[in-house]
Amino acid sequence: MIWINGDDMTDDNTSGVNRRNLLKLTAVAGVVAGSGLLSARTATAEDGLSLKGKRIGISATGTDHFFDLQAYNAQIEEVKRLGGEPIAVDAGRNDGKLVSQLQTLIAQKPDAIVQLLGTLSVIDPWLKRAREADIPVFTIDVGSVNSINNSTSDNWGIGKDLALQLVSDIGGEGNIVVFNGFYGVTPCAIRYDQLVNVTKYFPKVQIVQPELRDVIPNTVQDAFTQITAILAKYPEKGSIKAIWSAWDIPQLGATQALTAAGRTEIRTYGVDGSPEVLQLVADPNSPAAADVAQQPAELGRVAIQNVARHLAGETLPRETYVPALLANKQTVGEVSKKLGIG
Amino acid sequence: MLVDSPFIPASALEIEAQKSLEPPGSGPAFGRRLATLALRGGALAVFVGVLVVFSAAAPFFLTIGNIGNVLGQSAIAGVLAIGLTIVIIAGGSNVVTGGIDLSLAANMGLSAAVYASLVQAGQGDGVAILGALGTGLAIGAVNAAAVTLAGIVPLLATLAVMNVVAGLELVLTQNTVVPAATDFLSALSAGGPFGIPVLAYILLGFTFVVAAVVQYTPLGLRLYAVGAFPDAARAAGLPIRSFVAGSFLASGLCGGFAGILSVSYLSGSTTGAGDMLLPVVVTALLGTVFSRRLVPTITGTLLSALFVGFLINGFQLLNISSTLVSGVQGLLILLVVSATTLLGRKESI
Residue-wise pLDDT for A261-318, tens only, equals 999 999 999 998 889 999 999 999 999 999 999 999 999 999 999 999 999 999 999 9
Q: Rounded distance, CA A202 to CA A188, Å?
A: 22
A159 lies in the same domain as A290: yes
CB contact under 8 A, B323 and A88: no
Residues of chain B in contact with residue A107, where contact means CB-CB under 8 angstroms, are: 60, 65-66, 69
CB contact under 8 A, A104 and B321: no
Domain membership of residue A278 (yes or no) is: yes
State which residue of chain B sits closest to A216, comparing Cα positions.
B175
Indicate the pLDDT class of residue A5, thresholds 50, 70 and 90.
very low
CB contact under 8 A, B179 and A121: yes
Domain membership of residue A4 (yes or no) is: no
Pick the CATH number of B10-18+42-348 from 1.20.81, 1.10.3470, 1.10.1760, 1.10.1060: 1.10.3470
Mutate to test the interface with A, among B262, B266, B321, B323 (most CBs of A within 10 A): B266
- Per-residue pLDDT at A13 exceeds 50: no
User: Which of A157, A122, A16, A138 is closest to A71 using CA atoms?
Assistant: A138
Indicate the pLDDT class of residue A2, thresholds 50, 70 and 90.
very low
CB contact under 8 A, B175 and A216: yes
> For A235-262, how does the pLDDT look when each residue is reduced to its tens digit (9 = 90+)?
999 999 999 999 999 999 999 999 999 9
A60 lies in the same domain as A102: yes
Mutate to test the interface with B, among A104, A120, A142 (most CBs of B within 10 A): A104
A121 lies in the same domain as A183: no
What is the pLDDT, as a whole number, of residue A178? 97
State which residue of chain A sits closest to B316, comparing Cα positions.
A89
What is the pLDDT, as a whole number, of residue B294? 75
Of A10, A108, A217, the CB nearest to B177: A10
- Per-residue pLDDT at A6 exceeds 70: no
State which residue of chain A sits closest to B176, comparing Cα positions.
A6
Q: Rounded distance, CA B285 to CA B291, Å?
A: 11
B236 phi, psi to nearest 5 deg: -80, 0
User: Which of A246, A247, A325, A248 is closest to A280 using CA atoms?
Assistant: A248
A178 lies in the same domain as A265: yes
A229 lies in the same domain as A276: yes
- Per-residue pLDDT at A342 exceeds 70: no
Residues of chain B in contact with residue A6, where contact means CB-CB under 8 angstroms, are: 175-177, 271
Of A95, A103, A124, the CB nearest to B270: A95
Of B69, B179, B262, the CB nearest to A107: B69
Q: What percentage of chain B carries pLDDT values higher than 90?
A: 53
What is the pLDDT, as a whole number, of residue B3? 35
User: How close B115 gets to chain A, by Cα (Å)?
Assistant: 15
What is the pLDDT, as a whole number, of residue A67? 83
User: Which of A198, A144, A200 is closest to A166 using CA atoms?
Assistant: A198
What is the pLDDT, as a whole number, of residue B25? 47
A52 lies in the same domain as A171: no
Domain membership of residue A301 (yes or no) is: yes
A77 lies in the same domain as A104: yes
Whether B137 contacts B119, CB under 8 Å:
no
Of A92, A108, A216, the CB nearest to B317: A108
User: How close A190 gets to chain B, by Cα (Å)?
Assistant: 21
What is the pLDDT, as a whole number, of residue A63? 86
CB contact under 8 A, B177 and A88: no
CB contact under 8 A, B266 and A5: no
ipTM: 0.80
What is the pLDDT, as a whole number, of residue B293? 74
What is the pLDDT, as a whole number, of residue B1? 36
- Residues 6 or more apart whose Cβ sits within 8 Å of residue B309: B70, B71, B73, B74, B77
Rounded to 10 degrees, what is the CA torsion of A235, A236, A240, A245? 30
A167 lies in the same domain as A278: yes
Q: Rounded distance, CA A258 to CA A244, Å?
A: 13
Q: Rounded distance, CA A28 to CA A23, Å?
A: 8
User: How close A100 gets to chain B, by Cα (Å)?
Assistant: 6
A127 lies in the same domain as A252: no
Whether A187 contacts A10, CB under 8 Å:
no
A144 lies in the same domain as A189: no
Q: What is the DSSP letter of B146?
A: I
What is the pLDDT, as a whole number, of residue B177? 85
Of A87, A125, A217, the CB nearest to B319: A87
- Per-residue pLDDT at A179 exceeds 80: yes
Q: Which parts of chain B register pLDDT below 50?
A: 1-25, 349
Determine the structural domain holding residue A33 and report its residue range: 13-152+296-322
Domain membership of residue A6 (yes or no) is: no
Mark out chain B residues that contact chain A at CB-CB < 8 A.
60, 65-66, 69, 72-73, 76, 175-177, 179, 186, 189, 262, 265-268, 270-272, 275-276, 312-313, 316-317, 319, 321-323
What is the pLDDT, as a whole number, of residue B195? 84
Average pLDDT for A207-235: 91
Q: Rounded distance, CA A276 to CA A288, Å?
A: 11
CATH of the domain at A174: 3.40.50.2300
Domain membership of residue A341 (yes or no) is: no
CB contact under 8 A, B176 and A90: no
- Per-residue pLDDT at A217 exceeds 80: no
CB contact under 8 A, B267 and A100: no
What is the pLDDT, as a whole number, of residue A309? 96
> For B281-327, how does the pLDDT look when each residue is reduced to its tens digit (9 = 90+)?
888 888 887 877 778 899 999 998 998 899 888 888 887 766 666 67
Other beta carbons less than 10 A from residue B324's beta carbon: 10
B318 against A104, higher pLDDT = A104
A21 lies in the same domain as A147: yes
Of A85, A124, A217, the CB nearest to B175: A217
- Per-residue pLDDT at A12 exceeds 70: no
Quick check: helix, strand or coil at residue A137? Answer: strand
What is the pLDDT, as a whole number, of residue A43? 44
User: How close A259 gets to chain B, by Cα (Å)?
Assistant: 30
Of B65, B175, B321, the CB nearest to A107: B65
CB contact under 8 A, B268 and A122: yes
Q: Where are the domains of chain B?
A: 10-18+42-348
State which residue of chain B sits closest to A93, comparing Cα positions.
B272
Q: What is the mean pLDDT of chain A?
A: 86
- Per-residue pLDDT at A28 exceeds 60: no
User: How close B53 gets to chain A, by Cα (Å)?
Assistant: 18
Average pLDDT for A59-70: 86
Total domains in chain A come to 2
What is the pLDDT, as a whole number, of residue A16? 40
State which residue of chain B sits closest to A99, comparing Cα positions.
B266
- Start-to-end Cα distance in chain A: 21
Quick check: helix, strand or coil at residue A269? Answer: strand
Is beta strand A288-293 parallel, antiparallel or unpaired with respect to A267-272? parallel
A104 lies in the same domain as A183: no
